[in-house]
Amino acid sequence: MRFTIDTNILVYAVDLDAGDRHRAAIDLIARTKGRDLVITLQALSELFRTLTARKRVPPARVAAIIQTWRDTIPVVVADAGCLTDAMDYVVSAGWSFWDAMMLATARKAGCRILISEDGQDDRTIGGVTIVNPFRSDLSPLLREALGI
């Protein structure tokens, strides 16, 4: 089952000050090895912006982190159809544009899950289910995707 990870999970994986969320994000990413994980170009772009601007991590260090993920996880990109779908999700589901764009890109890439703490946990839009990995009981769908 194909899935993708939202920017917030990637930020927690890098942010040593994120406490329990950091540990949970690291554990989650470790469990994705050998699974059908893709990452959106948007998530990597947002990660660069968040870490360099908000967390003040040196750009060269962030670029190296992102390059490591690019070397090990397939990167998927949005197209014009994603733009149309994202605008539809904003209108029909009330999503913010950038969250909708990530969801649309995940859908285009064949993902069934978007792992994120944003959005409504277990809500399915366009065939993609948003799953919060930080909830106390891990979603059965996420358990299946991770092989646990």
Predicted confidence pLDDT, tens digits, the chain (148 residues)? 999 999 999 999 999 899 999 999 999 999 999 999 999 999 999 999 999 998 789 999 999 999 999 999 999 999 999 999 999 999 998 889 999 999 999 999 999 999 999 878 889 988 999 999 998 888 999 999 999 8
The reported pLDDT for the residue numbered 66 is: 97
Contacts of 124 (CB under 8 A, 6+ apart): 130
Measured distance CA(28)–CA(81) in Å, rounded:
30
Measured distance CA(36)–CA(143) in Å, rounded:
13
The reported pLDDT for the residue numbered 121 is: 87
Which residue's structure tokens are 């968040």? Answer: 50
The reported pLDDT for the residue numbered 118 is: 82
The reported pLDDT for the residue numbered 94 is: 87
**Taking the model in full, what pTM does it have?**
0.93
Domain boundaries, the chain: 3-146
What Rg do the C-alpha atoms of the chain give, in angstroms?
15
As its CATH architecture, domain 3-146 has 3-Layer(aba) Sandwich (3.40)
What does the DSSP assignment read for 28-54?
Answer: HHHHTTTS-EEEEHHHHHHHHHIIIII
Helix axes 20-31, 7-14, angle to 10 degrees: 110
